[in-house]
Amino acid sequence: MALSCSGIHSKNSSPNLGGQALVVETSESNSSSEESNLDPSLRAEIPESIREYLPLIKKYSKIYGFDWRLIIAVIQQESSFRHDAVSPKGAYGLLQIMPETGEELVLTVSHIYDFRTPEQNIIAGIHYLWTQFNRFYTKGMDSVECLKLALAAYNAGPGRVLDAQQLALYLGEDPNKWESIKMTLPLLSAEYYTLHKYIWDSGRPRSGYFRNYRETLNYVEKIMQNYERYKKSIK
């Protein structure tokens, strides 16, 4: 689920379309012919209630530099395509926006004025994922590797990924590689407190101990698997 964080863009901010490519593989299909381009085997997985939002998803995915099929995969993982989904922690909608995150986006992003309608929830979620991508992107970094870090941050909060990166650096691993973060996220749990004492002055990760790392690892892997499947099935 999307968690509130600092570093959100200003009210008049917009994606830097002249900057890095976020996800380089995109589909150029015409939104008016979605039904004919949708593999029959996926019709049951992508219900009509979501297909009606495909033009909106395509529009904002293009604005933010994402492949729209990636966003479909995120929606599937976040809410199982239910626009009224509410998590036990209060995350809401297709892209499971936390109330504090949604309220911050309303205050800081000019084209987001709500996060509870399906349309605005989609826009808010795409914007938030874009924010996480830009948080972790460095010049020359592989965009797919960065995307995986951004997805982990979307699920667990950026602080968890930043702590995992710091652990990776300490262990001599590349902090910009998902394989490194996969290895270090579990090391943020309390059982590795002796290791933490060598890295953080407080003796514990900056964002605290992390117990739900398995959820985050599964979250990223499932989205990437479904994204690859959608790329092959939806043109």
How many Å apart are CA 223 and CA 6, to the nearest integer?
25
Other CB atoms within 10 Å distance of the CB of residue 142: 12
Other CB atoms within 10 Å distance of the CB of residue 33: 10
Q: Angle at the Cα of 228 (from 227 to 234), degrees rounded to 5?
A: 80
How many angstroms from the chain centroid is the CA of residue 158? 10
Q: What Å distances lie between residue 155 and 4, 58, 160, CA to CA?
A: 11, 22, 10
**Selection from 94, 69, 25 nearest residue 223 by Cα:** 69
Told to judge if 78 belongs to the known catalytic residues of this protein, a careful annotator would answer: yes
Task: Give the residues across from 232 on adjacent strands.
Answer: none
**Active site residue: 52, 78, 173, 221, which one?**
78
DSSP codes joined into one string, 77-124: HHHTT-TT-B-TT--BTTTTB-HHHHHHHHHHBTT---SSSHHHHHHH
Q: Is 4 helix (H, G, I), strand (E, B) or coil?
A: coil
Other CB atoms within 10 Å distance of the CB of residue 6: 8
Q: Which residues are catalytic?
A: 78
